[in-house]
Amino acid sequence: MFDDKEKFKLAYLTKISETEGITLDEGSLWDKYKTLVLLLKENMSFNRALTKKSTMYTKQVYYFSMEFLIGRLLHYYLVNMEIEELVREGLAELHINLDDLLQQEVDPGLGNGGLGRLAACFLDSMAFLGISGHGNGMRYKYGLFEQKIRNGFQTEVADNWLKNGYPWEIPRTEKSIVVKFKGTIRAESVQDKLMFYHEHYEPVLAVPYDIPIMSYDNPSNINNLRLWSAEPVANELDFDSFNRGEFDQAVSLRSEVEAISYILYPDDNGRSGKELRLKQEYFFVAAGLGSIMRSFKKRNISLGDFSKWVAVHINDTHPVLCIPELMRILIDEEGLGWDQAWNITVNTISFTNHTIMPEALEKWPVDLFKNLLPRIYMIVEEIDRRFKERLARRFLDDWELIHNTQIIKDGQVQMANLAVIGSSSVNGVAALHTEILKHQVFKDYYRVFSYKFNNKTNGINHRRFLLAANPALSELITEAIGPAWKKNAEELENLLFYKDNSSFIEKLAKVKYLNKCQLAKHVKESQGLEIDPLSIFDVQVKRIHAYKRQLLNILKVMHLYNQVKNDPQSVRDPQTFIFGGKAAPGYHYAKTIIKLINTLANKINKDPEVKQKLKVVFLENFNVSLGELIYPAADISEQISTASKEASGTGNMKFMVNGAVTIGTLDGANVEIKEAVGEENIFIFGLTAEEVLRYSREGGYKSLDQYYSNQSLRLCVDQLVNGFFETAGEEFRVIFDSLLLYNDDYFVLKDFNAYLEAYQKLQDSYAQQDIWHRTSLVNIAKAGIFSSDRSIKEYANQIWKTNFRRFDSHFPDKRFKNKLGTK
Ligand code: 26Q
């Protein structure tokens, strides 16, 4: 993009005067940051136009997701364009420090966690592979709340990320779409055909904002992330009401409309059942499909071939209204018959499930649904009716199956059922998860549509989480095996060549140490706490949820504390336990867990007898940017969910590619991580998914048995309520009760011993530093298959049936292989 520094400087100086009307010395840091973004964006817009033109007759993939956690873009795009150094030096000559500008950027919190970040990783890989793949989502005015810890409690601060404007976005007002809610449906026979007219509806204007998506080594291929914002149709006050003196009504209509894209629901894996959420879901679906239809028509392709040229992927059930909405467009607006419309719809849409937690399966009361989306409801009813009819013919009197697979039952619309029936592919996100879908969650559907079910193990964008987030390790890797791993993560396997090379292992250890120093510096600056970069960094960062079992980790730390108090020699190496993650604001139990971590931290960190050995830190406001600092600095990756509950996990992969060693259960993608690294390079413990599911089905687990039979465990559990935490009173009673009174739904007590044993083995291994760093190296080397490039190649080949215009990511870089002489 810029061939040299001088050209860059000139372009930059011109841009700042053009856009801000100021000279450099008048500009604030924000102005300077914004200018750099606008400069890059301008070039990307140009390339977007070219990409669009040249892919006019390429199949387009649309990834519909309520959440996109894209992270900060400026640094990442500079890395992708390979101009970071040039820009850094150019700016330095203008007396600007690039790092100061990078700090100006907000991290758009347009998602809760795993699902939203996965969507962002997928956008990157689609751009990298040259797939015409675009995101379609919501432009929430307020993203996920910012977490502040006050007196040990989580408090939530609104995330007003747009307050200074977001320079990466491009408003496309002229491409707005009208979305219709409520009203009535009039059916009329026109020339022997039944037509449906939506009347007296409440219109809402969906205004798109586009963000350019660009990846490494493919800077001219620009894809698009389109986010929708809700505005009143007239885009003014309702002057009729206003003139009649009904000021309140005029203003409230406006705010009712704007409420739709006002805020992201902060529940992950949770339920909320509020009308506004359903409004959001239909809003971005109708807007997205409306705009896809509009651009499809410009391509002069026959509508009958729609599914050959367009793939729509739905990220969990949140966008499942794509199915009835596409039917509505094809039938009501395009005049197709039901059967043809249904064929097109099913062949266009594919669906990923991300959770088996029953409380996260979306259901909507019929009355609410029908009132908000009358025409869509009619279509859902008809889909259900026809499906049942077909099923009854095939499965005759298997009434149980027929009942279980209905879309509308018990007065509710079952969104997952609609998703399975109306799409051509249903996938889980890790091998184990897909098996659970086939044999438990969707077992009846698996009998009906076995051909739809498939697995696509998640992946992560290794260019963001290794190349950009961990420059020291990236350089070391490139020095050793050449740069081909950036394009083909499986090349990382060549690192195995260095397994017994002590000088390389030493360098690896040094990089880890330096990264730990950087995290320690952040902790010191942000919360005034000293942590020792020479201690083991044992890290659990993710959303706080009972099934993720932060509690198991806490009990371990309490146990170690008790041990050190008894015998200071019982813990050999100093250890720092690092936690981070947000709790849904309404999830009282999860918030109590945060308070417990902080209370424990307080106790341990100020106890002079143990503070040389143990430290506990809760990192405030875990998000993508903080993750980029944490993953490179971790020694131990805690992936300890109750087996069967974590669909995949992706944090596990981000840690692994940065050389952290996993302690975990056989859950989600941990199973595949174990297969990749071998059991000697991972610390696995605990109940298997099968055992957990058997207990849930047949009973037989009594948490009290664990409590009474294990003295040191009993001590820790008692300490939750016996005054051990001097300031706590009855605060942690809910946790105590969850374990004993409510029989420990997540098998924390059951897995406690096995966890401690695995942890002990891990410490023994850490004590032998050369062995430890070799394990770390094997983890990095085997992380290649967990790149989202691999996931996306599988989606493209097997589900979307689209080509990618990049072939070199398959091919090893011969030069470096020869140099190493490994192959
Ligand atoms: C649903 C209805 C109403 C309000 C909120 C929701 C809602 C929102 C977000 C339900 C679920 C989510 C998010 C789920 C999620 O992040 N799941 C994670 O997806 C990852 C990517 O596949 C997996 O790695 C994780 O295992 C899974 O927990």
Measured from the Cα of 669, ligand 1's closest atom is 24
Is 388 marked active-site? no
What are 471's two structure tokens?
Answer: 């420059």
- Give the 3-state secondary structure of residue 658: coil
Residue of the nearest CA to atom 13 in ligand 1? 268
- Count other Cβ atoms within 10 Å, centred on residue 622: 21
Instruction: Give the E-state strand segments of 574-730 in sequence order.
Output: 575-580, 614-619, 636-639, 661-664, 683-684
| 816 — pLDDT class (breaks 50, 70, 90) | very low
For residues 716 and 355, what is the distance between their CA atoms, to the nearest angstrom? 31
Helices (H), 487-527: 502-527
For residues 770 and 509, what is the distance between their CA atoms, to the nearest angstrom? 9
Mean pLDDT of 721-745: 96
Mean pLDDT of 215-244: 83
- Which amino acid appears at position 280 of this protein? Q
Measured from the Cα of 357, ligand 1's closest atom is 28
For the ranges 21-25, 136-140, 215-219, which has the lowest average pLDDT?
21-25
For residues 695 and 728, what is the distance between their CA atoms, to the nearest angstrom? 33
What are 562's two structure tokens?
Answer: 């008790």
For residues 424 and 799, what is the distance between their CA atoms, to the nearest angstrom? 8
Is 543 marked active-site? yes
Residue of the nearest CA to atom 1 in ligand 1? 271
Question: Is the CB of residue 508 less than 8 Å from the CB of residue 553?
Answer: no
- Give the 3-state secondary structure of residue 684: strand
Render pLDDT for 747-778 as a digit per residue (tens, 0 to 9).
Answer: 999 999 999 999 999 999 999 999 999 999 99
Q: How high is the pLDDT of residue 652?
A: 98
Helices (H), 531-587: 550-566
Q: What's the mean pLDDT when you consider all of the chain?
A: 95
Mean pLDDT of 222-250: 79
pLDDT(811) > 50: no
Is 773 marked active-site? no
For residues 376 and 285, what is the distance between their CA atoms, to the nearest angstrom? 12
Domains and CATH numbers, the chain: 55-71+107-455 (3.40.50.2000), 462-800 (3.40.50.2000)
DSSP state of 198: E
Is 542 marked active-site? yes
- Burial (CB < 10 A; 0-12, 13-18, 19+), residue 185, is middle
* 264 CA to centre of ligand 1 in angstroms: 13
Measured from the Cα of 647, ligand 1's closest atom is 26
Helix/strand/coil (H/E/C) assignment for every residue in 293-312: HHHHHCCCCCHHHHHHHEEE
**What's the pTM?**
0.96
* 288 CA to centre of ligand 1 in angstroms: 21
For residues 350 and 323, what is the distance between their CA atoms, to the nearest angstrom? 10
Q: How high is the pLDDT of residue 241?
A: 67
User: Which of 269, 429, 548 has most ligand 1 atoms within 8 Å of CB, for mutation?
Assistant: 269
Which is higher by pLDDT, 425 or 245? 425
- Count other Cβ atoms within 10 Å, centred on residue 457: 23
- Show Cβ contacts of residue 543 under 8 Å, excluding neighbours closer than 6 positions: 112, 113, 114, 268, 269, 581, 582, 583, 584
DSSP state of 67: -
| End-to-end Cα spacing for the chain | 36
| 236 — pLDDT class (breaks 50, 70, 90) | low
DSSP state of 509: H
* 116 CA to centre of ligand 1 in angstroms: 8
* 121 CA to centre of ligand 1 in angstroms: 15
Render pLDDT for 686-709 as a digit per residue (tens, 0 to 9).
Answer: 999 999 999 999 999 999 999 999
Instruction: Give the E-state strand segments of 366-437 in sequence order.
Output: 408-409, 412-414, 425-428
Minimal CA–CA distance to 222: which of 412, 83, 44, 447? Answer: 44
- Count other Cβ atoms within 10 Å, centred on residue 798: 13
Is 650 marked active-site? yes
Percent of the chain with pLDDT over 70: 96
B/e letters for 389-411, b = 16+ CB within 10 Å, e = fewer, are eebeeebeeeeebbeebbbbeee
What are 621's two structure tokens?
Answer: 């406001």
Render pLDDT for 533-577 as a digit per residue (tens, 0 to 9).
Answer: 999 999 999 999 999 999 999 999 999 999 999 999 988 899 999
In degrees, rounded to 5, the angle at the alpha carbon of residue 565 between the alpha carbons of residues 560 and 569 is: 75
Q: How high is the pLDDT of residue 235?
A: 54
Question: Is the CB of residue 285 less than 8 Å from the CB of residue 345?
Answer: no
Question: Is the CB of residue 682 less than 8 Å from the CB of residue 661?
Answer: yes
Q: What are phi and psi of 678, to 5 degrees?
A: 85, 150
Question: Is the CB of residue 747 less than 8 Å from the CB of residue 458?
Answer: no
Render pLDDT for 445-496 as a digit per residue (tens, 0 to 9).
Answer: 999 999 999 999 999 999 999 999 999 999 999 999 999 999 999 999 999 9
Q: HSE of 331 in the Cβ direction (CA atoms, 13 Å)?
A: 24
Radius of gyration of the chain (CA): 27
Active-site position among 654, 790, 793, 806: 654
pLDDT(335) > 70: yes
Active-site position among 457, 650, 662, 802: 650
Question: Is the CB of residue 745 less than 8 Å from the CB of residue 701?
Answer: no
For residues 685 and 87, what is the distance between their CA atoms, to the nearest angstrom? 48
pLDDT(242) > 50: yes
User: Which of 144, 316, 432 has most ligand 1 atoms within 8 Å of CB, for mutation?
Assistant: 316
* 270 CA to centre of ligand 1 in angstroms: 8
pLDDT(334) > 60: yes
Mean pLDDT of 492-514: 98
Q: Residue with structure tokens 């026979």?
A: 189
Q: What are phi and psi of 266, to 5 degrees?
A: -85, 20
- Residues whose beta carbon lies within 6 Å of some atom of ligand 1: 112-115, 118, 265, 267-272, 277, 354-355, 360, 362, 429, 458, 646-650, 668
For residues 9 and 39, what is the distance between their CA atoms, to the nearest angstrom? 11
- Give the 3-state secondary structure of residue 171: strand
